[in-house]
């Protein structure tokens, strides 16, 4: 369970980092929804043992494992208080 929680936390951080990079404003530090100060790190990487599908409008056609992972990560983050 600890491994899964760490993986989900890593995926959340990666998603947040990617969303920050997609905007024209970049910040090295931010405060998350739980009031924790998070510092972005350029060395952040994440890996998956399965291919995550979710590109090329796949989510518009059916449920995807990338969407499931993202939703589970958001739910964990919301209830964890971390």
Q: What is the pLDDT of residues 3-60, one digit of tens each?
A: 777 788 788 877 777 665 555 445 577 777 777 787 777 766 677 788 888 777 777 7
Whole-angstrom distance, CA of residue 41 vs CA of residue 45:
10
Q: Can you give the pLDDT at residue 50? A: 83
CA dihedral 62, 64, 73, 40 (to 10 degrees): -110
Taking only Cα atoms into account, the Rg of the chain, rounded to an integer number of angstroms, comes to 14
């Amino acid at each position: 369970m600890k491994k899964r929680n760490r993986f989900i936390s890593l995926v959340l951080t990666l998603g947040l980092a990617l969303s920050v990079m997609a905007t024209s404003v970049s910040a090295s530090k931010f405060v998350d929804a739980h009031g924790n100060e998070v510092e972005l790190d350029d060395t952040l990487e994440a890996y998956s043992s399965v291919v995550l599908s979710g590109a090329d409008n796949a989510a518009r056609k059916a449920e995807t494992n990338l969407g499931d992972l993202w939703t589970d990560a958001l739910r964990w983050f919301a209830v964890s208080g971390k």
